[in-house]
Chains A and B, each alone.
Chain A
Amino acid sequence: MKLKSRRYLIAILPFLLLVLFYELIPILMIVIRSFQPEGHIGFTFDNYISIFTKRLYQQAVVNSIFVSVISSVIGIIIAFFGAKATNEATSRWRSFFINILNMTSNFAGIPLAFAFIILLGNTGILVLLGKEAGISALADFNVYSVNGLLLTYIYFQIPLAILLIIPTFDGLRREWKEAVLLLGGSPLIYWTRVAIPTIMPSLLATLSVLFSNAVAAYATAYALLANNYSLLPIRISEQFVGDIVQRKEFGSALAVVLMLTMVFATLINNYFVKKSRGGAAR
């Protein structure tokens, strides 16, 4: 009788199997494999040691963090002004801008890399314009470099960041600003003492979303740089597919390092969120 009354549990089984076999076990295996020596069973830290001692892989970790931090910080600064403008604009401008953001948030990966190549590549339109006008910053721009990569990363961060922080700006009350001005404060004081501390937690949360988004981005970098610039996602995929010798154990360790950078970014972020909340309460 009891068995029969629990028959409904069969319905949840497919979900559990899917999550177990394609989410939990694969990730667990990556972590386990990262501690195994190549080719046989055992336990070792060698994979991690070689990541942090071999220049190629050190560079990949440093480059990935560098590109992600810079593009996220620039992205959030632009997004701050973008969201502020959206908040102050008339409703027609607002819906125009939100449409643009929704549309361009779909433009990523290989199409994005291609667009920047025809814009700033060797015969890119802006490069030609720069040559014509004698602007060497444009004429000599190399899109197949960190600078080019940063431009594309900033590009895909902007729509995402603005769309994420617009709601926070909508939460700022007009009365607060009026109160500050009434008490003799300037708009600058309103922004530095009231508005920014209020929206800080959500700015920081967005920043950590942007970081994870950038640090694991694969397609844009793959199409734009291939092997010119060492980045973690590219180095990871190389260990599992492609022409060079496959080293699953080492690749797993690289993948764990990538996950750890995201975990660290979130932890650092949480610390600052807590701090900024505490500051606001005081």
Chain B
Amino acid sequence: MKKSRASKGTILIISLYLVMPLLLTFLYSIFTEWNEVLPNGLTLKYYKEILLDKYFLTSVLRTMLISAIPFILCTSVVLLALYVIIVYHPGWDKYMQMLCNIPYALQGIILAISVLSLYVGAPYPLSNRFVMVVLTYCIVILPYIYRGLKNSLDTVNAKCLIEAAQMLGANRFYAFFKVIVPNILSGISIVAMLSISIVFGDFAIINIIGGSYYQTAQMYLYKKLFSSGQASSVIIVVMFGLTLILSGIVNILNKKKVRNRED
């Protein structure tokens, strides 16, 4: 009994430390001023201001665009590669795994400056900032996409399914993309949410490569940080809300997947 009280205490103290900054940011966003111990003037006017701000909305749209494109690109590229590996060369998987795990160790900042310094003076499509950011994000999310897709393909036993489809007369490529891929859609959507939320929270890469060329919500937030506290807190609450929705969807999908497997 004493022990369970101690563990509850520990959980409460750590939770308090973790939740306090979040809660405070939220409270900050709904009061007009907070110059004394207690805030006063409950208001939603900052929400109205920000949510009607054209610049904020376009920056959120830009963020969504730059999160979605790398996901689509990277998933297609990894699926094509996994097709070759699963169907023809299972032995190559260890090399692919190695290549896909390098970005874990690289961290955003090193990748960003490496790509920027290599391509900044290169010919047109390569030196385009949007292209650079998109392809760098592809590398950042590569480990998560590889692991997610590989796990899903292993669970549905892709190789057997392809052989079965082949016996029924389908060619392998057709079998992979028309039979296997629809079967791992739930796995793909989990990977989608995960990788989009990673890009959503990025500031290092977009600030170093994108700079003033491409304004995302994070960049917008950084600019507002020094002008208005309330506006910043509203932006944070809105963006954090979006991230929570994404990770909430991941959780629901994961639970559904586990339940399906148990059936």
A interface residues (Cβ-Cβ under 8 A, vs B): 8-9, 11-12, 14-16, 18-19, 21-27, 29-30, 33, 78, 81-82, 84-86, 88-90, 93, 96-97, 100-104, 106-112, 114-116, 118-119, 123, 125, 128-129, 132, 155, 158-159, 162, 212, 216, 218-219, 222-223, 233, 236-237, 239-241, 248, 251-252, 255, 258-259, 262
Q: Is B34 an interface residue (CB 8 A)?
A: yes
Of B43-51, B52-60, B82-90, B160-168, the one contacting chain A is B82-90
A26 and B118 contact, CB distance less than 8 A: yes
Is B187's CB within 8 Å of the partner chain A?
no
A18-B28 CB under 8 A given contacts A30-B113, A223-B225 = no
- Chain B residue nearest to A106 in the complex (CB): B243
CA distance A9 to B25 in the complex (A): 52
Chain B residues touching A, majority SS: helix
B215 in the interface (beta carbon within 8 A)? no
A29 to B240 alpha-carbon distance, docked (Å): 36
Residues B10 and A115 in contact, CB atoms below 8 Å apart: no
B124 located at the interface, meaning its Cβ lies under 8 Å from any Cβ of chain A in the complex: no
User: Shortest distance in angstroms between B177's beta carbon and chain A's nearest beta carbon?
Assistant: 10
The reply to whether A236 and B117 contact each other, CB–CB distance below 8 Å, is: no
Q: Beyond A106-B247, A107-B21, A155-B18, list 6 extra A-B contacts (CB 8 Å).
A: A12-B80, A22-B138, A26-B114, A108-B201, A123-B35, A236-B109
In the complex, are the beta carbons of B110 and A216 less than 8 A apart? yes
Interface residues of B in 129-160 (CB under 8 A from A): 135-136, 138-139, 142
Q: Do A241 and B4 have beta carbons less than 8 Å apart? A: no
Q: Are A86 and B11 in contact (CB-based, < 8 A)? A: yes
Considering only residues 1-59 of chain B, those with a C-beta below 8 Å from chain A are: 3-4, 6-11, 14-15, 17-22, 24-25, 28, 34-37
Of the listed stretches B61-69, B99-107, B178-186, name the one at the interface; the rest are far from the partner chain.
B99-107
Are the C-beta atoms of A159 and B18 separated by less than 8 Å?
Answer: yes
| Contact B37 A129, beta carbon cutoff 8 Å | yes
| CB-based contact A23/B17 at 8 Å | no
Residues on A with C-beta less than 8 A from B240 are: 106-107, 111
Q: A85-B11, A109-B218, A114-B236 are in contact. Are A252 and B109 (CB under 8 A)?
A: no
Q: When the two chains form their complex, are residues B11 and A97 in contact, meaning their CB atoms are under 8 A apart?
A: yes
Please give, as numbers and ranges, the residues of chain A lying within 8 Å of B218 by CB-CB distance: 109-110, 219
Closest to A129 in B: B37
Interface-centre pick from A11, A111, A115, A125 (highest chain B CB count, 10 A): A111
In the bound complex, CA of A11 to CA of B81 (Å): 6
Residues of A within 8 A of B81 (CB): 11-12, 14-16
Expressed in whole angstroms, the Cα–Cα distance for A85 and B106 within the complex equals: 33
The answer to the question of B195 belonging to the interface, with a C-beta cut-off of 8 Å to chain A, is: no
Q: For the complex, what is the distance from the CA of A104 to the CA of B225, rounded to whole Å?
A: 21
Q: Which of B21, B173, B233 has the most CB of A within 10 A?
A: B21
- Cross-chain contact of A104 among B18, B99, B103, B222 (Cβ < 8 A): B18
Minimum CB–CB distance for B125 against chain A, Å: 12
Q: Given A119-B20, A129-B37, A155-B21, does the pair A23, B99 have CB atoms closer than 8 Å? A: yes
Q: Please, could you name 11 A-B residue pairs with CB atoms under 8 Å apart, sorted by A?
A: A12-B85, A22-B136, A23-B99, A26-B111, A81-B14, A115-B24, A118-B25, A118-B229, A212-B107, A216-B107, A241-B208
Q: Give chain B nearest CB distance to A152 CB in angstroms.
A: 9
- Complex Cα gap A101–B7 (Å): 16
* Residues in chain B near residue A78, CB distance under 8 A: 14
- Asked if B72 is an interface residue, CB under 8 A from chain A, the answer is no
Tell me the smallest distance from the CB of A246 to a CB of chain B, in Å: 9
Q: How far is the CA of A254 from the CA of B214 in the complex (A)?
A: 26
The 7 closest A-B pairs by CB, nearest first: A26-B114, A115-B21, A216-B107, A15-B81, A85-B10, A85-B7, A219-B203
Q: Which of A107, A162, A237 is B109 in contact with, Cβ under 8 Å?
A: A237
A138 to chain B, nearest CB (A): 12
Q: Is the CB of A252 within 8 A of B208?
A: no
